[in-house]
Structure 1
Amino acid sequence: MNRTLIVTNDFPPRAGGIQSFVHGLAACRPPGSVMVYAPSWPGCADFDRRQPYPVVRHPTSLMLPTRAVARRAAELVTGSECETVVFGAAAPLGLLAPRMRAAGARRIVMVTHGHEAAWAGVPVARGLLARIGAHADAVTYLGEYTRRRLAEVIPEDRLVRLAPGVDTGLFRPGAGGQGVRAALGLEDRPVVVCLSRLVPRKGQDMLLRAWPRVLRAVPDAVLLIVGGGPYRRVLERLARPMGDSVRITGPVPWASLPAHLDAGDVFAMPCRTRLGGLDVEGLGIVYLEASASGLPVVAGSSGGAPDAVLPGETGLVVDGASPAEIAAALVRLLEDPAAARAMGERGREWVEREWDWKLVTDRFAGLLETPPGTAAVAGT
């Protein structure tokens, strides 16, 4: 059996889209074939006990490509006879690839997200990304945007698409939204939900700046912001003048995320690119989870976010820096519930057809089982 070591900074119980993606990749492998090396995080001991594979935790909450991390990862490759090493995020831990080969790894797969695409545009980081790609058998990309950026520094014959999947059994219409509405006292009010980490790139601040315009057209609407993060105090200050038309829940357990999406009528996350292109959305799996939940989505035009929307069919793409454009999209959907529901239904069908985890599982298996030195696999 081909044993695989996944080396990653991004892994539960830390919350986030990349963490869920990498966890899903590990979970889809046959029993006994995978091991994970990841940082420590509050609650990790309980989480690790529930996994059907071993998780080895680094003593700190962040792993860098240091000698200590390289030595421990190499010991795991040798001791567990791992033929393949997967880096859950290529940058920066992919710099350890030569050490993994020296320890016996025959195949190296680098998984990329939005930040690697950003590295491709920065001179010093660009050189590091080229070094990472030079030691990989395969480098994955999320969608067309990230493929174009990575191809600037990584040979195209090493690039293969591997985007996150959606568990359409968990994220679905009727996943518990009525209970969330009842608990929050939302009743039958129109609800726009934004579920994401609270950071400037995700655009919750722009939603709040757009919200007065939405209320002028739909006075009983509610904006439900779900998630935790460093921007929470700023958002609460922006929301205060709007009273109970805005609800900020803070972080919620992962198991209750489908119910919070199901509580909405529209999903909105108007992400925007920041810091001269360094802070960019790679894809936005939450758009697809919202589509699977039967909601029309309003996405920002940052990076690869439009790859997660069929504009005009499953949702709308807006300039995440324009409150007026954001408000117009939300009003359009809230004032025409029938059209919004039809978009949500098409979104559900699209996710079932193109983004189901079974497709991701097959692609990932192909990547791991392809002979060393070969990148592309059939169907990717």
Structure 2
Amino acid sequence: MSRTLVVTNDFPPRAGGIQSFVYGLIARRPPASVVVYAPRWVGSAAFDLRQPYPVVRHPTSLMLPTPAVARRAAGLVAEFGCDTVVFGAAAPLGLLAPRMREAGVRRVVMVTHGHEAGWAGIPAGRRVLARIGADADVVTYLGEYTRRRLARVIAADKLVRLAPGVDTGVFHPGAGGGRVRAELGLGERPVVVCLSRLVPRKGQDTLLRAWPGVVEDVPGAVLLIVGGGPYRRTLERLARPMGGSVRITGPVPGAELPGYLAAGDVFAMPCRTRLGGVDVEGLGIVYLEASASGLPVVAGSSGGAPDAVLSGETGLVVDGTRPDEVAAALVGLLKDPAGARAMGERGREWAAREWSWDLAASRFARLLEPAETP
């Protein structure tokens, strides 16, 4: 059996969308076919013991394309007899590809996310991506937006779509939303939930600026913001005048996230592009997890986020810089619960049909085979 070395900065137990994506792909490979090289993180030793494949940890929490990392990765290629290498995020570790070929690797697969699309918008980033693309056999993209951005510097015949999957057995309407509502004292109040890392791009501040207008039209509505991150203090300051109509939970364990989604009536994350296009949403897997949970979604128009919504069918796409537009979308959904439920039902059907992990795993498996055309 051929063996694949996965070199990635993004791997559990560190939380995040890219980490979940990379882990989900690996978890569906035969255990004897995979070796992972990733940074050390809090709790990584216990996590690694539970995996059926080897996980080799770098001694620090970040890996860069340095000679030391290159030597370690090349050593793993030799030690485990790997003939394929997958870079869990193409930039910047994909710069190690030439060294991997010298070590004996015959196939190089680069997985891209939102940040590579952002890099494609600046000259220095384009130069790095061009080098990475030149050394790859395959460069994956999430959706049409990221494909267009990457195609500026990477040959079109190397670009292949590979998006994350959604586990509809984990994310579903009965995943424990009633328990979460009871714990938070929400009762039967209308709930808009936003589950994401707390950073400016995700648009939680726009939700908070929109919220007084929502509560004016839908008395008793609650905004539930779930997650941790550096923007938390700013968001708590913005929320303070709104009292009990806003709840900011902070981070919650991964196993409890489906319950928090299922506790909502509407999911909203009005993401926006920042820093001249460098900070952009690649896709937004949480929109699809919310759809699988039976919720209509309100997504920002940043980058590839609209690829995760069938606008008008499974949710709405809004300008994440405009609180009035966000408020109007939320009010419309909250005041039409039957229509919102119908959107959520269509979203769950779409997630199960088009975004299953079985589809993603099958596509990934084909990319690893040198004899086949992706």
Task: Give me the TM-score of the superposition, normalised by structure 2.
Answer: 0.99
Give the whole-Å Cα distance in 1 for the aligned partners of 2:365 and 2:64.
27
Deviation (angstroms), 1:51: 1.0
After TM superposition, the structure 1 = structure 2 runs for residues 1-380 of structure 1, keeping only pairs within 5 Å, are 1-371=1-371, 376-377=373-374
- Equivalences, count: 374
SS in 1 for 2:368: helix
Give the secondary-structure state (helix, strand or coil) at the position aligned to 1:181: helix
String of CA shifts for 1:255-295, please: whole Å, max 9, x gaps. 01111100000000000000000000000000000000000
Summarize deviations over 1:229-269 as a string: whole Å, max 9, x none: 00000000000000011000100001011111000000000
The whole-number CA distance in structure 2 between the counterparts of 1:297 and 1:281 is 16
The C-alpha deviation readout for 1:163-220, integer Å capped at 9, x for no partner, is: 0000110011100010000000001000000000000000000000000000000010
In structure 2, how many angstroms separate the alpha carbons of the residues matched to 1:350 and 1:108?
A: 32
SS at match of 2:223: strand
Structure 2: unaligned runs, 5 residues or longer: none
Q: Secondary structure at the match of 2:36?
A: strand
Find the aligned partners of 1:262 and 1:306 in 2 and give their Cα distance. Answer: 22
Query: Unaligned regions of 5+ residues in structure 1, if any?
Result: none
Partner-residue secondary structure (3-state), 2:316: strand
TM-superposed deviation, 1:370: 3.4
3-state SS, counterpart of residue 139 of structure 2: strand
Secondary structure of 1:369's aligned partner = coil
In the TM superposition, what is the alpha-carbon distance from 1:121 to its structure 2 partner? 1.3
Q: Give the counterpart letter for 2:282 in structure 1.
A: G
What CA distance in whole angstroms lies between the structure 2 residues aligned with 1:172 and 1:51? 26
Q: If the length of structure 1 is used for normalisation, what is the TM-score?
A: 0.98
- 1:294-353 CA-to-partner distances (Å, cap 9, x unmatched) read 000000000000000000000000000000000000000000000000000000000111
Secondary structure at the counterpart of residue 311 of structure 1: coil
User: 1:52 Cα shift?
Assistant: 1.2
Secondary structure of residue in 1 paired with 2:26: helix
Q: In the aligned structure 2, how far is the partner of 1:52 from the partner of 1:335?
A: 48
Deviation at 1:22, TM superposition (A): 0.3
The percentage of aligned residue pairs carrying the same residue is 80
Moved over 3 A (4+): none
Where 1:183 maps in the other structure, the secondary structure is: helix
Cα RMSD between the aligned structures?
0.7
